[in-house]
Structure formats: C-alpha cells, structure tokens
Structure 1
C-alpha cells in the first residue's frame, strides 16, 4: 500500500492528477508548501512510481504514473505551453495551415510560429507537407489532442482556445 497519508504528499499528488503536465513553479504557486517540501515530496512520489517526470525542453513536468503514455505526455507538454496550444487549436479548427497563415491568426511573428511548429513536429504532434510552393502543417492525431484538451480543459484556463475550438463538444 502506498503512503499518501501526509497532507503535503497527498496535496501535491492531487494537484498533479488534476493538472497533468504541471511544472514545479506552478506547483509552488498553487500550493502552500515550502520549495524544499515540494521538491522532497516530488522525489518521493517519483521514487515510489506514483509520478512520472517528463522534460519538454523548457520545463520538467509531472504526471500521474500509468495514466499517460509517452504520446499523451507529448500532447500535454505542448498543451501546457500557451502558444503551442493556440497553434494546435488553429490547426485543428482550420488546418492544414502555413506558417504565414498561423502567424496572421496568432498575431505573432513567423519566426515565433516557426519555432513552435518545429517543436511540435519534433514531438511528432504535427506533420508538414509541401503544397505547391508553400509548406502546410496539420495535427498528427487530432482526436487524441481533442480528447486530452477536453478532459483537462479546466486546468488550461485558455478562453481563446476554448472559443477557437468551440469546447470540442462531443467528448
């Protein structure tokens, strides 16, 4: 039997379960525990196999063990980044789209959008295809993304994406 009797351990685990892909700073902001307490309990939870750790290149993110395979973690890692989440939303709602089209929709420079697209492609979340003289992108597994976004929508608090995707009714 796993020991989640400590209030701090249980609260940290519950926050991870409620917001899979949460990173350390967000846990620190959300919970009323000292930095060292959160670090210690995260290590304990990981050592006990209750929490899996994923690095998205920018943050170390935490997931309830056995609930998220590598593909789910890659999706959640992307959804936890604001502009990656918005790129994905536009691709699902209006895709396939070019970097220029996405840049116009997001109000961001093409280089910024290109950076996000490169990261998403590296994680196998988007594919790119040549369409004449331009390259267009689309989401690789839109159903998986829609499902995870819908299930964990409350933990994203991104009303822009909610409007773009109409809350993905039907999941």
Structure 2
C-alpha cells in the first residue's frame, strides 16, 4: 500500500512502534522502500514501480478530503468551486486550502473562465488507474463507487 504514513501503517499492521521502526529502517537500509515528507506526514513507497507523479498523487489520495475532491473533479471535469462544495460538503476555506495545494503539486489544473475558476484533473487516466489499483487499501465507499462507475459496475 504505497503512500501510507507511519501511524496508518502501525494501525493496519497492528505492530508496536519499536517493531515498526525496526522493520522500516531495515527495509530502507536494504533499499526496498523509501520515505518522503508530504503534507506533514512521512509517507513510505517502494523504491521501484511508481513514478514521481504517482507518488505525489498517492500522497493526496491517502487523505479523505483531498480524495473526495479529486473523485468529484474526476466525475465532473470543469467543476467550479461552488460545484465542488455542493458535491463534497466541506467548508469553502477547507476546499480552497486543498485545491491550492493540489494545483501547486500538479494534481489539479485550474482554468479561469470569465469570473470563475474551473478545475480538472491534470492526468485523469493516472489518477483513475491509482484508484483502481489501490482500491482496497483506501477503505472508502466513495472510491468503491467511483471504481464501479468507471468499470461498469464490476464486483469490488
């Protein structure tokens, strides 16, 4: 499950901190995994197999609110701030904060049309592939719903 942070790894594996620290250090020393600071968390990734853009995207997809925003924009390309607010149901300030971060990291594109900004996913195929590939690790019914829509209603 690439992109998980320390506490999430600890919760999912049920390991005490000392054991998890030992195993993470061992895997890093053997150059099996790497870590990077993203959004206030240290996230862990396999050394091989993921492009930099996928690591950046997973850092957002591992967070509930950014993931919901990304899925909304994937399903509704060209959404405005108001469109996203009505679909995701968070405060305007929270949405602005997350959109600004995702635009600056190249996950979301912002286009000004008249007096409104419209948002699209920079690489929708890559994001959709990550959601499908790591679907079970998100533990999120919104991801399941998106994947069912994308795949024509296939089984989870």
TM-score by length of 2: 0.91
Match of 2:48, SS state, is coil
For the pair 1:60 / 2:65, whether they are aligned, the reply is: no
Equivalent residue in structure 2 for 1:134, among 112, 116, 120: 116
Q: Tell me the C-alpha RMSD between the 2 structures.
A: 1.7
| Residue 167 (structure 1) shift | 4.6
Which residue does 1:20 correspond to in 2?
Answer: 2
User: What residue is the counterpart of 1:81 in the other structure?
Assistant: 63
- Per-residue deviation, residues 130-155 of structure 1 (Å, max 9, x unmatched): 01110111100000000011011000
TM-aligned CA deviation for residue 27 of structure 1 = 1.5
Moved >4 Å (runs of 4+): none
Residues in 2 aligned to 1:75 and 1:102: alpha-carbon distance in whole angstroms: 19
Q: Return the offset for 1:91.
A: 0.6
How many residues align? The count is 153
Q: CA deviation at 1:26?
A: 1.2
CA distance in 2, matches of 1:167, 1:30: 28
Asked if 2 retains the 8 angstrom alpha-carbon contact of 1:150 and 1:167, the reply is: no
> Larger C-alpha radius of gyration, 1 or 2?
1
What does 1:20-169 correspond to in 2, within 5 Å? 20-164=2-146, 166-169=148-151
Match of 1:130, SS?
A: strand
Structure 1 gaps of 5+ residues are 1-18
User: Structure 2: 5+ residue runs without aligned partners?
Assistant: none
